[in-house]
Structure 1
């Protein structure tokens, strides 16, 4: 997707729709939507990418969300210590609370970074 703020809602909607198709419960879909929003927004704000990819994997026990930029960022993502009156700066803190694990790795092609988060799966009853 284009590395634009307008693409964030599209990425969130696509992830939520896919998880719904897979029978993931609504609470996890909400959490995944928030996580992908934060990761995608950070890629838009903190890298000089032209495009960003978003992938979702379901291993059965965790859903893994991956957001890949083109590697023109300022370093490895770390949570900030935002002041109470600051509007932003809490995204990765939210990701860490909602995820069982998260981190970043170099992209397979060597030119970007994959920031990922894994959320515990809860399936809706059939």
Structure 2
């Protein structure tokens, strides 16, 4: 099954949508909160203020999928925030694409950016004195596994798999 894509009239979430959030929420989130969409893809501008919008879109998808347990939701939103923030910081691209779907026992999150910098996403172990560098450490601690793919065009996808808790409705997706 092909992923369901969340689009605005322009083909993606735009800076205008981000600037007027949450007023734009109803035009971006379908009335059924993607209940019938086992996979959803968001393409947002590479702007810091897009991070909470992406979290809200994923929260609505989780609601539509019946994923209400905090043991799944909290790590999913944390992982998404860290990966999206890293993509904004380290990519030369103007957009970041997030894909989320569930399988029988896992919630899958992928964040894709255009790449374009010499920086490759690496897990570090920062000291207490360091202000930054904990993002991928948090991703690793919050997921059962994670990884990255650097494509021939230098684009980068960082992904994570988060265990679904017992009682969460499941379906198979791509």
TM-score, scaled to structure 2: 0.66
Paired residue for 2:65, among 22, 25, 40? 22
Runs of 4+ in 1 over 4 A off after TM superposition: 123-126
SS at structure 1 position matched to 2:45: coil
**Aligned pairs for 1:99-118 within 5 A:** 99-106=143-150, 110-118=153-161
Structure 2: unaligned runs, 5 residues or longer: 1-43, 170-174
1:33 aligned partner: 77
Query: Within the alignment, does 1:7 sit opposite 2:50 as a pair?
Result: yes
TM-score, scaled to structure 1: 0.89
Query: Within the alignment, does 1:54 sit opposite 2:54 as a pair?
Result: no
Distance 2:110 2:64 in 1: 18
Structure 1: unaligned runs, 5 residues or longer: none
Paired residue for 2:133, among 76, 89, 92? 89
2:110 aligned partner: 66
| Cα shift at 1:110 | 4.0
SS at structure 2 position matched to 1:57: strand
2:29 aligned partner: none
**Alignment check: 8 A CA contact 2:90 2:115 kept:** no
Distance 1:4 1:125 in 2: 32
**Alignment check: 8 A CA contact 1:55 1:66 kept:** yes
Give the structure with the larger helix fraction: 1
Aligned residues: 125
**Alignment check: 8 A CA contact 1:20 1:29 kept:** no
Could you list the per-position Cα deviations for residues 71-100 of structure 1 after superposition, in whole angstroms to 9, with x for gaps in the alignment?
A: 213243111221212222111001001111
- What is the root-mean-square deviation of aligned Cα atoms in Å? 1.9
SS at structure 2 position matched to 1:39: helix
Q: Which has the larger radius of gyration?
A: 2
